[in-house]
Amino acid sequence: MSASRVPLPSGVATGIGSLPHTDAAEAAAFVLERLPDLPVVPTLPRRSAAERMLAHATVGLRGVSSSDDGDIAVDADRLDPAADVRVDLEHDAFGGLRAFLDAAAGRTGPVKWQVCGPITLGVALHKRGAPAIVAFEVAVRAIREHIAFVGAAISAALPGCRQVVVIDEPAFPAVLDPAFPLDPGTSIDLLSCALAAIEPEGTSGVHCCGAGDWVAIASTGPAIISVPARPELVDVAGELAAFLDGGGWIAWGAVPTHRPVSGQVDRYWRDLSSLWCSLVQGGCDPLRLRHQALITPDCGLGLHAPDQAARVLELVSELAFRVHGQAVATRLTVGA
């Protein structure tokens, strides 16, 4: 487990994915300007409902159609885990990607992008009428094909850019519920299978906006886990310590997106520093916490106004600058 495939500076600022822009070219310019070290390929649900998470993930999937509001409908009789997934880059779901590839032409630094996870997609297919076994088999096939297709498109357009690919799993916390249609071991295996499609060429990660089971998520084998920086993480300090000691990186969602944003970075710096102090008391290495850190909003910005999204990323960048400064200082102190 290592993020070394894509060399990243400590404390690099990046995004989560969705943005509120309705103009794809403006969104691409926005992320390249605001997140120069690790820009994120934008998804733009306000520009097109086809860029909403489920609609985006099911492009080319036989037996699934999307509506004008971005919801999906399932024809269970046509779902087939062995059927080809015909992903089309010209589909409206990839407007943000196309604009980003145009705007980033000539770039040689890394880029980040996200995709819906197989657990989240499988739950959606099952809720819409697909038998559980078929729903999750189709989901993991669809996500693996999506990863391969988008990854190849980025490599072709930006051959000098390494890729950080993060699987978004908002439904993963439900896998430990006794009523969940899969047992936890099978759920972990499915997510691991999707992550394996990333690792040959890029660095893999898992993001969960909610109170994820970070022990289970870390066990699926990502190089990066993307976590909201909340006090309850202290409860799994030992497991986070093991993840960091094994070379894993943590993307800290240190600027909230679910409540009004403070105008000053100091508040979020105090919150993050306090959390890290508690994690150190729980067994985490203070050097690894800083050296193997990315800084992000805690979730996507698709529901914010553009000026609010800009302010959130300004705060993220200011925090990242402080984290990077601490990481450099600690390296000098220990003579690294």
Q: According to the model, what pLDDT value does residue 266 have?
A: 94
To which residue do tokens 């999307």 refer?
66
Q: Examine the pLDDT at 166 and tell me if it is beyond 50.
A: yes
- Asked if 81 and 132 count as a contact pair (C-beta separation under 8 A), the reply is no
CA nearest to 101, candidates 41, 48, 44, 57: 41
Coil, helix or strand at residue 64:
strand
Dist CA 141 CA 23 (whole Å): 31
Distances (CA, A) of 208 to 45, 102, 122, 202: 19, 29, 16, 20
Using a pLDDT cut of 70, give the percent of the chain over it.
Answer: 96
User: Hey, which residues does 163 pair with through a beta bridge?
Assistant: 111
β-strands 72-74, 64-66 pairing: antiparallel
Q: Tell me the whole-structure pTM to 2 decimals.
A: 0.93
289-312 per-position pLDDT tens digit = 999 999 999 999 998 999 999 999
Q: According to the model, what pLDDT value does residue 336 have?
A: 46
Total residues belonging to the chain: 336
Using a pLDDT cut of 90, give the percent of the chain over it.
Answer: 83
Task: Give, in degrees to the nearest 5, the angle at Cα 35 between 15 and 232.
Answer: 35
- Asked if 240 and 278 count as a contact pair (C-beta separation under 8 A), the reply is no
Q: According to the model, what pLDDT value does residue 333 have?
A: 59
239-265 per-position pLDDT tens digit = 999 999 999 999 999 999 887 777 789
pLDDT band at 3 (very low <50, low <70, confident <90, very high): very low
The residue among 156 and 6 whose pLDDT is bigger is 156
